[in-house]
Structures are given as structure tokens and as C-alpha cells.
Structure 1
Amino acid sequence: MALTLYVDTARWRAHQKQIQDRFPGLIPVCKGNGYGFGHERLCEEATRMGADILAVGTTYEAASIKDWFGGDLLVLTPFRRGEDPVPLPDRVIRSVASLDGVRGLVGARVVIECMSSMRRHGISEQDLGQLHAAIEDVRLEGFALHLPLDRPDGSDAVEEVIGWMDRLRAARLPLHTMFVSHLRAEELARLQQQFPQTRFRARIGTRLWLGDHEATEYRGAVLDVTRVAKGDRFGYRQQKAASDGWLVVVAGGTSHGVGLEAPKALHGVMPRAKGVARAGLATVNRNLSPFVWAGKQRWFAEPPHMQVSILFVPSDATEPKVGDELVAHLRHTTTQFDRVLDA
């Protein structure tokens, strides 16, 4: 009995095809935990899609993925002098975000990241004059822009890309390929129309693999069910049951990513109020689990264990049985499943 990722394979692949049609020449991204599917599975999917390049997060990921994907591998983390040397084949393309990075990769295949409004990393406009000489010693695959997801100031993503295209052109730098992230299909089409001599290639991960929420579902199997009465003590800390009900042991614990939650950017009064309410409940050991039973998310009876979670199901709900499966609302990028089943 396990924490299982169920995949409606036909629906999942239909969504991939839809994204592929909307973003010609897209580059699938496979980084971290493989968006919840694992590296090997996404390499298989990228190969099936006919992708010629697969983007990965780090050189370590490239080293492990190279045996599963036969095309080029684009490492998204920029090269820095002094980084750990990782043996990689020539089909690996390195991202660079500084003049020093370009100069440190003599003979290598590189994509040069430009500083976008993300302000995370990238070559600056002031460096463009020196960049022309530096690229003579590398095999330039193109330039790249990693753009923000939200634009509360009302700025235009296309105009930001055009601004960089104009700067690169003024510096007489080659503009045969521009790699971009977080553009809409219509924005990409506008750019391609305006710059027909440049090939725009969208690097897409979340939208490609996780864009259809109904195509995948996590479920945890019930391993044990124990009836408790109000006041009964239970668990590691011997807390008291608040009411009659059942303690339900379900597959899925901290080693799977259950109980982990990334910080969220809250916008608006209601989301902030809910955040305050959740924090207040947590101070009295009331934490909502991701597991759903009888139409409701159930509370953790105590903090999740390494491989299982213990939930409290009150007596007014149907009693779960060993072998039942509870749907789990888990974040794909932080979850490790025991098994995957294709529908």
C-alpha cells in the first residue's frame, strides 16, 4: 500500500500536444524532482515528443539525465568559475550570466542569459561592448531571457524582449536564436512576426507537465484505522482526542513531501485573512492535512511521520477501511511518490 500518482496518460499527453502546437520549437524543462513525475519519465516523454533539447536545472541533473535523453541538454543554472567539475558530454549546453562566465568556458557551447526585470542573474547592457570579443572563444547557441510571471506594474513582456533584441542588435551580436521563459503563445507569435530572422524557443516546464490539473491525482492508501473516544490519549506526544472518531494511518509522510509547503505570495484581503487563520490554528496544534475523505480535507491528528500520516476522522463521517485510498492535494514539485499508475 502506497502513496500513488495516478496519471490519465491520454489526457496528459493530449495537453502536452496542445502546448507543443502553441509553442513551436519548445524546449521541455526537467529539473528538481521532475515536476513530480521523476527525471526518467519526463525524459521518455520529451523523447516521444521529438524534442531536440531538454532543459535541466543543474550540472548534476545533466550528469544523471544524459543516459535517459539522447538530445542536447541545456543547463539552466549559470556557470561560475570554481564550481565543482562534473564530467559532461559535448551535447551539454551551459548557461552563462556574466562576462567572466563566458571567458571561463572556452570552446564550450553556451547560451548567454540577459538580465531581465526578474533581476536574478544575467549579462548587463554595459557588458555588451566587451561581449563581442568574448564570444569568439565559445560556441554561441543564442541568448536567453527569463521573465517574471506577474507584472503588477502593467509592463509588457514583449516590449521587454524587444528592448533586449534592440540592444543586442546595436552591439552587432548574433541574433539567430533567443531562448525565452514565461511568455504566452500570442506574445511569442508577436515576437516571431517582428523578428523573422530570429528563432524564438520557449523553455516550458510547469505549463507543459502540470497545466492540466485533472490529468493527475495523488492518493494515499489507508494502512490502519483505530477507533478513539473523546479524551483518549494517542500518538508520540499522547495528545487527547477532541471527540469520538477514528485515527486513520495513511501512506504518505515527510519523506514523500507531505507536510511541506512553499511560502506563498498573498494578494488581497481574503487570502491574507486565511493565512492568519491557518497560522492561528497551527499554534493550537490544528493543522489541515492534504488528504480528503468523504468530501472534506481532514486534520492531521499529529505531525506527519516519515512515511505515513495519522489523520483524525470524526464519528459523523463514514469510517475509512484499510485499503481505501484518500485523494491528496499535494504540490507536484515537492512530492515523491511510491509508485505511478497510468490510466
Structure 2
Amino acid sequence: MALTLYIDTARWRGHQQQVLQQFPGIVPVCKGNGYGFGHERLAAEASGFGADVLAVGTVYEAAQTKDYFGGDLMVLTPYQLTEEPVPLPTRVIRTVASVDGVSRLVGARVVIEVMSSIRRHGVKEEDLPKLHGVLDDVKLEGFAVHLPLDRTDGTDAVEEVITWMDRLRAARLPLHTMYVSHVSAEELARLRQQFPQTNFRTRIGTRLWLGDHEATEYRGTVLDVTPVAKGERFGYRQQKSSGDGHLVVVAGGTSHGVGLESPKALHGVMPRAKGVARAGLATVNRNLSPFLWQGKQRWFAEPPHMQVSILFLPADTAPPVVGDELPAQLRHTTTMPDRVVER
């Protein structure tokens, strides 16, 4: 009895092929929880479609994935001067976001990230000339620009990359390879046309693995169904039932990522109004679960437990039976299923 991720393998791989055709030279990304599939599985997929480089999030993920992927591994988190040493093979490429970082990685393969409009990390324009004094001591694989997902000010992703290409050229730095994140196929084509001598390689994770929402589905197994009357107490906190109905125990709890939600950036009046409404319901212990029954998202009876969730179904809704599976709308990047089933 488990929280299961079902994969329509043919459809999932068909979508991968569409993305590969749109983005030649793609660097697939496998970070965090492996987008819900796991590092081993995504490494196998990347090997299967012939990727020569696989990007991972951290050095710890590189150490974990090196046994599953035989090509180069690119660590996306920049090298930190104070980080603890982690044994890694020479085929690992480190991202570096400072001149000092480059100077510390003598003999290493590096990608130098520049400071994009995300303003998270990167070498600044005024520091580019300083790279000349340290580049001879490393194996430069190229530069990288990590772009924002949304551009609410109407700016253009291609123009931002072009600006950095011009800065690198003015600093007399090599432009043989540029790694870019969060560009469209059309934007990639524009860059390649503008700079035919530069090899632009896109680093893509979400669009590659999760772009076809119909190719995957989470389902939680119903473990128990118990009638409950209005006013009866139940659960860890012994709260009273708001009405007659059934308590449905379903596989999937906090250890799986059920109930976890990242903060959202809300734009516009309606999304903000909905957010206020959700917050108001939460203050009276009314929280929607990710589980669906009869096509409708159902309420948590109480906060999810470590491995199960308890849902409340009103008396006018016929309950499921033990062994049924309830679809669950879960975020792949925060979910750890018990098993993965291909069909």
C-alpha cells in the first residue's frame, strides 16, 4: 500500500524527444529529488538518449550520480571557498561564480557563471578582466548565464545574453561555449544566428522531464475508511467532526512531501484574493488536500501524518473502498513516492 508515481513511459519519452529536437546540444538537469523520478532513473534516461553532460545541483549529488552516468557531470551550485572537499572524478565540471573561486580550482574543469538579472551569484562585469590572471590554471569549459523565468518588465532574454557576450568579447575572453538556462527554442535559434562561432548549450530540467503533465500521475492507496458522526472526536488532536461522513486514510504523508508547499509569487487581484481566502480557511483548520475522489479535490480531516493522510468525505459522497487509489496533485520536485510504476 503506497504512494505511487505512474509513468506512461512511451508518452514521457516521446516528449523528451520533442525537447531534444528543439534544443540540440541540450544539457539535461537532474537535481534535488530528481524531479520526483530519482537521480538513478534520470541518469539512465540521459544515457539512453545520448547526453554527454548531465547537470546536477550540488557536489553531493555529483558524488551520488557518478555511478549512474558515465559522461561528464556539471555541478550547478557554484564552488564555495569554504566548502568541505568531496571526492569527485575528473569528469566533473565545477561552476564558479567568482575570480577567487577560479584561482582556487587549479587544474579543474570549470564553467564561469556571470551575474545575470537574477542577481543570485556570478562574476560581475568589472571583474571580467581579472579572469586573465587565473584562466591558465584551469580547463575552461565555457561561460554560463542563468536567466529568470519571468520578465515582468518586458525585457528580452536574448538581449541579456547578447549584452554578456559583448562584455566577454570586450574583455577578450573566449566565447567558444555558452551555457544558458531558461530560454525558448526560438530564443536559442536567435542566439545561434547572432553568434555562429559560439556553441550555445541549454541546461533544461523541468521542461524536459515534466513538460507533459499527462505522462505522469501520482496515486495514493486507500488504507482504511471509517464512518464518523457530527461531533465525534478523532485524530491525534481529538478535534470534533464538522458533520456526518467518512474518514479516509490514504497513503502519502509529510515524508512523501504531501502537505508541503513553496511560497508563490502572486500577480494580479484574483490570485491574491484566492490566497487570502485559502489563508482564512486555514485559520479554521480547513485545508484542501492534494487527493481527489470522484473528480473533486478533498479536504484534509487533520494535518497529514508522516506516512498517511486522513481525508474527510461528507455523508452525501460515497466513499472509496480499501485498496482503491486516489489521484494526487503533487509537485514533482518536493515528492518522494514509495514506488515508481511504468505502464
Deviations 1:96-128 (A, max 9, x none): 000000001011000000100010000011011
Amino acid aligned to 1:212: D
Check whether the contact 1:294–1:318 (CA below 8 A) recurs between aligned residues: no
Amino acid aligned to 1:144: A
Report the CA distance between 1:215 and its aligned residue: 0.5
TM-score normalised by L of structure 2: 0.99
Equivalent positions of 1:37-56 (< 5 A) are 37-56=37-56
Name structure 1 gaps, 5 residues minimum. Answer: none
Name the counterpart of 2:164: 164
Q: SS in structure 2 opposite 1:313?
A: strand
Equivalent positions of 1:119-134 (< 5 A) are 119-134=119-134
Report the CA distance between 1:248 and its aligned residue: 0.3
Report the CA distance between 1:94 and its aligned residue: 0.2
Name the counterpart of 1:32: 32
Report the CA distance between 1:50 and its aligned residue: 0.3
**Segment drifting more, 298-307 vs 231-240:** 231-240
Q: Distance in 2 between matches of 1:320 and 1:245?
A: 12
Q: Distance in 2 between matches of 1:319 and 1:257?
A: 24
Name the counterpart of 2:23: 23
1:242 matched to 2:242? The reply is: yes
Q: Distance in 2 between matches of 1:130 and 1:273?
A: 50
TM-score normalised by L of structure 1: 0.99
Q: SS in structure 2 opposite 1:190?
A: helix
Name the counterpart of 1:315: 315
Amino acid aligned to 1:241: S
Q: Distance in 2 between matches of 1:238 and 1:70?
A: 53
Q: SS in structure 1 opposite 2:297?
A: strand
Amino acid aligned to 1:226: T
Check whether the contact 1:254–1:305 (CA below 8 A) recurs between aligned residues: yes
Report the CA distance between 1:294 and its aligned residue: 1.1
**Runs of 4+ displaced beyond 3 Å:** none
Deviations 1:137-184 (A, max 9, x none): 100000000000111111111011011111111111111100000000
Q: Distance in 2 between matches of 1:109 and 1:238?
A: 58
Deviations 1:13-70 (A, max 9, x none): 0000000000000000000000010111000100001000000000000001000000
Name the counterpart of 1:335: 335
Amino acid aligned to 2:123: I
Name the counterpart of 1:184: 184
Q: Distance in 1 between matches of 2:38 and 2:313?
A: 32
Report the CA distance between 1:312 and its aligned residue: 0.3
Amino acid aligned to 1:48: G
1:64 matched to 2:64? The reply is: yes
Q: Distance in 2 between matches of 1:178 and 1:295?
A: 46
Q: Distance in 2 between matches of 1:156 and 1:281?
A: 40
Report the CA distance between 1:229 and its aligned residue: 1.2
Equivalent positions of 1:4-19 (< 5 A) are 4-19=4-19
Check whether the contact 1:254–1:307 (CA below 8 A) recurs between aligned residues: yes
Q: Distance in 2 between matches of 1:90 and 1:208?
A: 27
Q: Distance in 1 between matches of 2:223 and 2:51?
A: 41
Amino acid aligned to 2:333: T
Q: Distance in 1 between matches of 2:60 and 2:319?
A: 46
Check whether the contact 1:246–1:319 (CA below 8 A) recurs between aligned residues: yes
Report the CA distance between 1:133 and its aligned residue: 2.0
Amino acid aligned to 1:304: P
Amino acid aligned to 1:339: R
Name the counterpart of 1:107: 107
Name the counterpart of 1:282: 282
Q: Distance in 2 between matches of 1:169 and 1:201?
A: 18
Name structure 2 gaps, 5 residues minimum. Answer: none
Amino acid aligned to 1:172: R
Amino acid aligned to 1:45: E
Q: SS in structure 2 opposite 1:80?
A: coil
RMSD: 0.6
Q: Distance in 2 between matches of 1:127 and 1:189?
A: 29
Q: Distance in 2 between matches of 1:187 and 1:319?
A: 50
Check whether the contact 1:106–1:137 (CA below 8 A) recurs between aligned residues: yes
Check whether the contact 1:247–1:311 (CA below 8 A) recurs between aligned residues: yes
Q: Distance in 2 between matches of 1:64 and 1:19?
A: 26
Equivalent positions of 1:184-223 (< 5 A) are 184-223=184-223
Q: Distance in 2 between matches of 1:275 and 1:203?
A: 32
Q: Distance in 2 between matches of 1:33 and 1:189?
A: 31
Q: Distance in 2 between matches of 1:157 and 1:266?
A: 22
Name the counterpart of 1:306: 306
**Identity value in percent:** 78
